[in-house]
Structure 1
């Protein structure tokens, strides 16, 4: 009784906080309110489609999820990374209400709890498929919560309003929750259907989606446990890594997917996966579909707007990851650090010019196809992102882009397989040839296995390892999956958070106060100056980058253009997990202790 009075008193004070009862017991909004609902296959399909709408990330999350990372410069950073001021009062992600965080879980558990109504009315195969779909989304919810908060309460039932023991329980351990996540994913992978009616459009949950997600989850958890030794879970890391290999191998040997790869399209086929209206069903396992004049978005607009987007720009360190076409390392050239913008693209992996503006980049401007150089009104480094753009300025200034957005690709499955094998110490030429080699050769690069480790990569990744297989998989993952909402998670699981606080290096300038023509079209594009010249002295078309206003040259009067020092990004190891929000703890003190460092 005392506990109950305490809780109700806290709720009376916290008027802005929705109670545990409401966000764990409220009937789902899309529940039809009939005892006959969820009794036939069409009901199950309708409810499952609602999961897609509520749980899947939107197109901007998928395209911009990497924006706060080590390789992407942005005009402004997130408050979480700025200084050491973030605290539990600012943290979200634990909200109630009909559209809050926990309502998504309640929605899934309600579906699973009421699924037996359909028994006898649908086939066993259909029943198991939809149970697998529900358990997939429960695993999806909890994986996100564990990544964010670590220990969280596990619920596998839609709770009743008077079940105070469960409503106000404490957090379950990471180990317990992730074992439950693995159980759900194993069930989904074994029971979700592989029928073409689910697989064909790349927009529904099916067996292959479950396997792809399982490989991602298990790779994350296995490497997180390996590198985060403070958890004391290293002994169980291999278990998750082997599950990642198992899931990926099943997809690789039995699944219907392969890399889009036509030697005649080597300069365009990679990017076609990201700027085409249709999801390429050969490689895309799950994605968000858009359609011209029906459902559209603003990604291209934001990439080419000086005010609307965040000036997403890739770094020189990112560009240095790309190999030469003959398979040799760009950074083995003794002069690599002083190569010009144009020289960075000579004989390089074809994915580079399909990811950022290259010297030969063209797009339609006012209806005419023209060469277009990096615009320093839109980029902070000179490596201007185009991976998600449609090359026509008709999509700038209005939200009418219609390119569909992949969420799971077969390429990631190959990378997850290779990394898990490398982390287990089981990577060799055979494993290399069935994974990384395929990705490199699709990009026009000699795919032969490495013979030595890359000292540049070892240094970049803070000398955490000199294992050549691990380093080469990280190289491949960096260039293949850039801006696909995975880089931040990669840094978290590798325990490389300090990379988030480093300044970004851009293109190399031989000298300041000199205009440069970046794409060889005879028009000067940019000059780095100490003071912006008066209008009468400006060269037409030139964007003047003024040093000392967030920019500097690494060598003073020359060097790489460096950006981001003024943002005061700061890393502390407590940031590997977010704090449990203060509002949640005030409602339920059993959520304590707070995550380490956030007291």
Structure 2
């Protein structure tokens, strides 16, 4: 969904003066001289522009999951509020010199003009940059297909007089995704593995292409499996849905090649088990052992505001994880937390006892410490910053010097080796080709990195089977568990819900920590200071306990059992789900400009 909030205009711009300028002018990487793009330095310069224009920003990567089932936010998106969204409100199709389709034109312009350099660069360099261009074209179309389904396919930069092409109807999703696969195959076979492209983990290379291919193909294969009909047309998939196995095999193969290359691996030092996972998201340096592609930040050079937003009562969206999410984590011995008959009444502190080490590296736990005013001290969940009690810290630097100012310098991964292992495992399991060997080479590695016994399961988890109600396979349930905890807030959860056909979970009420009673202050981290109390009405000043945040039940909060239970939040937001929301509508403006475009089936 994060890919669809951009407000641009329309693709078919040849009908206005501004459109003609857009279609005929040189792309913005500019240098429109006929002598440009004739040597390797030119190709490198142009390709670096794709990084700036196409890669999602740090906040998209960190907050892209915010409108999902496992993250509570104090405000939601209009798309999920009731069922009032219309094609008139929809953007994200195209428009202007910086709009969506101009991004594609820049890529196609690059590919169209690449032959100008052939005589001046080696064949290896030429093929590398063609692969880079085709990677970004695949990246563009993957986002468009996720958002709109069927879209027109263009593989050359259009000119203003090509009205027939400009006014063409949408191509089928099956056709477009086959072309995307062709582009990714070329990129993964031809992009270079020269250290100058690989060492920094900041530019596209063969390994990046393979990682992305595993993501794209897993998405498309599972999307077609769990959606029996193409939501763009309301009809069966072309060729009887044969693309399911095709894309799942391509996902598994791409991941397998990357795994076998042994270029990357999990950061795993048993002595750092309580910190090494989170260090991937809070360190200035991209950990090139595990990070395949990321965004580099550096103190006093390039910084961002993520820590500020996580610790600001007014600047952020109070990103908070849910009890359902926390229930996914196993005990350190590999046993299931939800097998305990009393798990539903465990308090905040009990939720962290002997749990997977990733839990306390993702949310504020009872032992969490950070630097405040220059002094390191224990810090409890702050209900001015969290709506559930499970306060997100995965992307935060533990120093309040970054609160109130955009000085965070932690670099941001986009593709990690951990995701490749998960893509491999899920694709193989969906194909029915998953067993103990595949488990040991994927899920077991992730669990043992977190200090969890990595032994394979012996039965399906009934808690997960209820939560992911369209799956009963033991392996798939455990893979979904692992994907949930390992990749939380890495811009993948919403897409997972869409491909698994679990969109209704975006409308569920969020549940937080368990309170045994109202009107009782709780010390959440045993530092001798009371932190929170749940009340029907905020007490008068004279009766307030110092340091306590009073959570008032009523319009925004309630307890599941009335006077006790999990703190519930989000029911006041009127979020609703309907199946048509698996795709966005084609914007009305686009349909008006090109009557050959057809509205998505459920939005007609």
Q: Which TM-score tier does this pair reach, normalised by the shorter chain?
A: over 0.9
**Inter-partner Cα distance in structure 2 for 1:185 and 1:141:** 12
How many residue pairs match? The answer is 586
**Inter-partner Cα distance in structure 2 for 1:518 and 1:321:** 21
2:344 pairs, out of 337, 340, 346, with 337
Does structure 1 retain, via aligned residues, the 8 Å contact 2:62–2:491?
Answer: yes
**Inter-partner Cα distance in structure 1 for 2:293 and 2:564:** 46
2:367 pairs, out of 360, 369, 374, with 360
**Inter-partner Cα distance in structure 2 for 1:40 and 1:11:** 32
- Who is 1:432 aligned against? 439
Q: 1:105-128, CA deviations, whole angstroms, 9 ceiling, x for partnerless residues?
A: 000000000000001100000000
- Who is 1:5 aligned against? none
CA shift for structure 1 position 344: 0.2
SS in 1 for 2:294: strand
Q: 1:168-221, CA deviations, whole angstroms, 9 ceiling, x for partnerless residues?
A: 111000000000000000000000000100000000000000000000000000
1:78-477 aligned within 5 A: 78-231=77-230, 232-233=236-237, 234-461=241-468, 463-477=469-483
Does structure 2 retain, via aligned residues, the 8 Å contact 1:18–1:95?
Answer: no
2:538 aligned with 1:532, yes or no? yes
Does structure 2 retain, via aligned residues, the 8 Å contact 1:25–1:158?
Answer: no
SS in 2 for 1:407: strand
SS in 2 for 1:590: coil
**Inter-partner Cα distance in structure 2 for 1:354 and 1:11:** 48
Q: In structure 1, list runs of 5 or more residues that go unmatched.
A: 1-7
1:447-526 aligned within 5 A: 447-461=454-468, 463-526=469-532
CA shift for structure 1 position 596: 1.9
SS in 2 for 1:589: coil
CA shift for structure 1 position 236: 1.7
SS in 2 for 1:508: strand
**Inter-partner Cα distance in structure 2 for 1:536 and 1:90:** 49
Does structure 2 retain, via aligned residues, the 8 Å contact 1:25–1:161?
Answer: yes
- Who is 1:551 aligned against? 557
CA shift for structure 1 position 29: 1.5
**Inter-partner Cα distance in structure 2 for 1:51 and 1:25:** 20
Does structure 2 retain, via aligned residues, the 8 Å contact 1:517–1:525?
Answer: yes
CA shift for structure 1 position 25: 4.4
- Who is 2:3 aligned against? none
**Inter-partner Cα distance in structure 2 for 1:481 and 1:553:** 29
- Who is 1:595 aligned against? 600
Q: 1:481-500, CA deviations, whole angstroms, 9 ceiling, x for partnerless residues?
A: 00000000000000000000
**Inter-partner Cα distance in structure 2 for 1:11 and 1:362:** 55
- Who is 1:53 aligned against? 52
Name the TM-score, length of structure 2 as normaliser: 0.96
CA shift for structure 1 position 24: 4.6
SS in 1 for 2:119: coil
Does structure 1 retain, via aligned residues, the 8 Å contact 2:13–2:95?
Answer: no
Cα–Cα, structure 1 residues 23 and 237, in superposed 2: closer, same or farther, change >3 Å? Answer: farther
Q: In structure 2, list runs of 5 or more residues that go unmatched.
A: 1-9, 231-235
Q: 1:384-435, CA deviations, whole angstroms, 9 ceiling, x for partnerless residues?
A: 0000000000000000000000000000000000000111111100000000
**Inter-partner Cα distance in structure 1 for 2:173 and 2:514:** 45
CA shift for structure 1 position 161: 1.1
**Inter-partner Cα distance in structure 1 for 2:251 and 2:260:** 14
CA shift for structure 1 position 11: 7.8
- Who is 2:233 aligned against? none
1:5-24 aligned within 5 A: 19=19, 21=20, 23-24=22-23
CA shift for structure 1 position 31: 2.1
Q: 1:125-175, CA deviations, whole angstroms, 9 ceiling, x for partnerless residues?
A: 000000000000000000000000000000000012101110111100000
Does structure 1 retain, via aligned residues, the 8 Å contact 2:268–2:449?
Answer: yes
Q: 1:530-577, CA deviations, whole angstroms, 9 ceiling, x for partnerless residues?
A: 011011110000000000031000000000000000000000000000
**Inter-partner Cα distance in structure 2 for 1:585 and 1:499:** 31
Instruction: Report the aligned-residue RMSD.
Output: 1.4
SS in 2 for 1:406: strand
Does structure 1 retain, via aligned residues, the 8 Å contact 2:322–2:512?
Answer: yes
